[in-house]
Structure 1
Amino acid sequence: MGGLKSRLSRLKDLGSIAPSPPAPTPRTVGPPPGWEAGEPHEYWRLTETSFALDPADLERGYDPRLFAQAGGAASSSGRFEDLAFLDFETTGLSGGAGTIAFLAAIGWFEGQNLVVLNVFIDDFPGEPAFLARVLRNLAERGTVVTYNGASFDMPLLRTRCILNRIPCQDFSHIDALKTVRRFWSGSLSSCALKALESELLGYQRTDDIPGFLIPRIWLAYSAGGRGNGLEDPRALMDRVFAHNVRDIVSLARVFILMNKIAENPIRQAARARVRHSALATILIGLGRRSEGIALLEEAVVEGDSMAGLRLASLLRREGDWSSYEKILMSLVENDPRVSVAKAKYWEHRSLDYSAALACVERAATLLAAESGIIGGSHRISEALRWRLLEDLAKRKRRLEFKSKGFRA
């Protein structure tokens, strides 16, 4: 024991046991120019955008049922003034427990004008104050509107509140992406917000920041403007702020555009590049059957086979077999799904197994060719293609048995 004690004493005398280093000085980046300082590391600013509602739109409001069809908040008031458009910029895209939001944009209408509140933190300790300010401002509106927020923004908000032991109310929520997909899936290059901006709203972003760079920029900024191989993180962060505001303005514009299309579908559908069959389905779901039927009939005249299938299916469910048969038989078999529908009709309604087999073979030929994959303006995914091929193989075997006098 004595030997160990003496050895430790000698090591101490030699300076081998150094005193503990002093605690590091907390980083202080400070507020970006033009921002108000809130709690430590937390800042905010209010921006008046150039976007404004048409007075007639403001007076009419929006139809909550349009968004409730895609799982949105059915209890929405229908008043534009009660909407809070929300978008986060985060340290990653996974949305896991290690991802935090460092920047929020919350937009709302004050009268006709869209204003955007940004909330920002320059370091991790500012997160509780950041969350508290976001929650307070969302709670002042009736409904939160996001773009892909059901999968990302809202779960992230709840997770960060739980980890910070902050109560988070269950907000009424509309994920506009779900309704966008119902309007434009397959008719635009994609349903990404930037694609909607260029193909529907008529503008391209300039000097925008790629999304994958945003976490790196913030981490370099929070380190005092150093690191991560970025030349000037402070200047880049200004572009991130602008990116965040643009997302909110575009989200509000797309939200209003969808409402305008639903209000006046005949006039707006072609101009806004909405497929008649998709819009008709939405209108029928809103209880506006006559308008939906009119759109489908117009699309059939223009050669839209999927609109014809949708119309035929609707007539069949209503028991109007005469009209169903007339519409179905008038459709050109340029899409394998038309051939499959005709095969079902010949097999189950007319019991004409030879005609049904011919339709099955036609569908298989279309699926094997490039034209079958495209399906006109209604694209067929690879997964759907394989499901159709599997169904056709089973149907063909069954029809061959039936045509020989056997029951499958």
Structure 2
Amino acid sequence: MIAAPGLHERLRLAAGVRERPPRRAVADAPGNLLAGGRWEDTAAGPALYVERVYDADATHGDFSLSELCEVPGEALSVLGAVADPQRLLFIDLETTGLNGGTGTLAFLVGVARFDGRRLRLRQYFLPRPHEEGALLEGIAAFARGVSQVVSYNGSSFDLPLLETRHTMMRSPFWPEGLGHLDLLHSTRRFYNRALDSCRLADVEFSVLGVRRGSDIAGWTVPAAYHQFVNEGTVGLMPAVFRHNALDVLSLVTLLRRLGGLVAGERVSFPSEALELARLAATHGDMGAARRYMDVARRSAVDARSQHLVFWRTLALLKRGSCWPELRDHCLEGLRAGWREPAVYVEAAKACEHRTRELELALKLVDRALLRAGMLTGRAGLVSDLELRRARILRKLGGAGKGAKRTGPSGDGPASGAPVIGLPLPAHSLAKRVLADNPAIDPRR
């Protein structure tokens, strides 16, 4: 026979009050994983974490962690970060699945913030899935007083997942007005096409000088946690903790490197100079933008970098309305061998609409037509070029140099006009134009 609950128990149940789970020793965690771990009292029960404090001289790769505190606040602001590193929270998650969704838990959350010039790193751990509320409360308490969260791809995964878990647990998410800086976006702008990939591990190796050595593969992390929970064995969990800690430290040094570049540090990749030029142009400093573009050109030694520098510089000149420079940049590119139709077109646009050099614009369109006639699948481009050519001729008065004329029969082409519509090698006229003007041959 089951005894009826007493008065105190009935009142507690009627009020919906839950008793706080008893505080446990760290050794009660399955497998006694966390040597040096601590329990933190929260409204949802005790939260388990380990903490490490890095002194001012601690390094990660090529940089000291505390160097971020020396980056000028103006440089951090250009990147979208708050000016005071003391108000930043660096965060990285390890989860039970890689695709997100309501069934995915964050079982290990690494968070770090500065205390003066020392960096305090905490890793909140979920020893049992039903204790998730305490983990979330612990993270929220540690984040109290910060102004911005810093992550890597956090806008697509980490923060939406945490928001979902807070909603599922019916607990408040982050403090209202808390900002977020996803360093993946800045990294792509600085290193896209310069690196084979902008995965954090690749950026660490090529930009930050981090050598992880033997590191657990990210796709094995969920299985390591499931083994820990189901079998009570430590297995690969120490490697998971190390992997997570390195991810968080890399956020600190990556922001330090990007901020240092904005503050004037020497660039290592042409793409860094190009992004600095873009940032300068965005803030209205075209003088600095031009200097960075010159640095990018001088440092581009391979064809891939030179191609990137050419097109990024063209885009910046267009954004800054530097039309004579854009024209000269395109002409220089043509002389250097960048004879894609788009180069001719960009130069022709500048000459027609901005510098009002209509005859030069017409010549550039003719060269573009010759080049486009050599390519397959470019009928739309040819049609656009013909329309542009006709418009320029109208502006020149309809009878300028290169205008189409008809012979006595009314159906012959003008002697100076390139013939299009058939493959270029079949055009005797096009061959003659190229023979008479070898310098404009787009095949050279």
The TM-score normalised by the length of structure 1 is 0.73
CA offsets, 1:156-181, max 9 Å, x none? 11111001100113421111111111
- How far apart are residue 243 of structure 1 and its match? 0.3
1:183·1:274 contact (CA, 8 Å) conserved in 2?
A: yes
Gaps of 5+ in 1: 1-26, 226-232, 369-385
Aligned partner of 1:119 in structure 2 is 124
Task: Tell me which amino acid in the other structure corresponds to 1:33.
Answer: L
Aligned partner of 1:63 in structure 2 is 75
Cα-Cα RMSD? 3.2
Aligned partner of 2:196 in structure 1 is 189
Aligned partner of 1:79 in structure 2 is 84
Task: Tell me which amino acid in the other structure corresponds to 2:147.
Answer: G
Going from structure 1 to structure 2, the CA distance change for 1:330 and 1:162 (only over 3 Å counts) comes to same
Task: Tell me which amino acid in the other structure corresponds to 2:343.
Answer: V
Going from structure 1 to structure 2, the CA distance change for 1:55 and 1:178 (only over 3 Å counts) comes to closer
Going from structure 1 to structure 2, the CA distance change for 1:109 and 1:320 (only over 3 Å counts) comes to closer
Distance in 1 (alpha carbons) for counterparts of 2:251 and 2:186: 12
Matched-pair identity in %: 26
Distance in 2 (alpha carbons) for counterparts of 1:99 and 1:65: 34
Secondary structure of 2:120's counterpart equals strand
Aligned partner of 1:36 in structure 2 is 38
Aligned partner of 1:328 in structure 2 is 330
Going from structure 1 to structure 2, the CA distance change for 1:210 and 1:319 (only over 3 Å counts) comes to closer
- How far apart are residue 58 of structure 1 and its match? 3.0
Secondary structure of 2:155's counterpart equals coil
Structure number with bigger Rg: 2
Aligned partner of 1:176 in structure 2 is 183
Answer yes or no: is 1:358 the counterpart of 2:363: no
Distance in 1 (alpha carbons) for counterparts of 2:307 and 2:214: 42
CA offsets, 1:98-150, max 9 Å, x none? 11100000011222222210000122101111111111112232211000111
Task: Tell me which amino acid in the other structure corresponds to 2:367.
Answer: A
Aligned partner of 1:249 in structure 2 is 249
Task: Tell me which amino acid in the other structure corresponds to 2:266.
Answer: Q
Task: Tell me which amino acid in the other structure corresponds to 1:63.
Answer: A
Gaps of 5+ in 2: 1-27, 301-305, 392-402, 406-444
Output aligned runs, 1:2-401, within 5 Å.
29=30, 31-34=32-35, 35-38=37-40, 42-49=47-54, 50-51=58-59, 52-54=64-66, 57-58=69-70, 60-61=72-73, 63-68=75-80, 76=82, 78-168=83-173, 169-170=175-176, 171-225=178-232, 233-264=233-264, 267-269=265-267, 271=268, 274-300=271-297, 304=306, 307-308=309-310, 310-311=312-313, 321-331=323-333, 332-334=336-338, 336=340, 337-345=342-350, 350=358, 352-353=361-362, 355-359=364-368, 361-362=370-371, 392-396=381-385, 398=387
- How far apart are residue 66 of structure 1 and its match? 2.3
Secondary structure of 2:234's counterpart equals helix
- How far apart are residue 282 of structure 1 and its match? 1.6
Secondary structure of 2:154's counterpart equals coil
Distance in 2 (alpha carbons) for counterparts of 1:224 and 1:41: 23
Distance in 2 (alpha carbons) for counterparts of 1:211 and 1:113: 28
Task: Tell me which amino acid in the other structure corresponds to 1:358.
Answer: R
Deviates more, 1:196-205 or 1:115-124: 196-205
2:108·2:125 contact (CA, 8 Å) conserved in 1?
A: yes
2:270·2:299 contact (CA, 8 Å) conserved in 1?
A: no
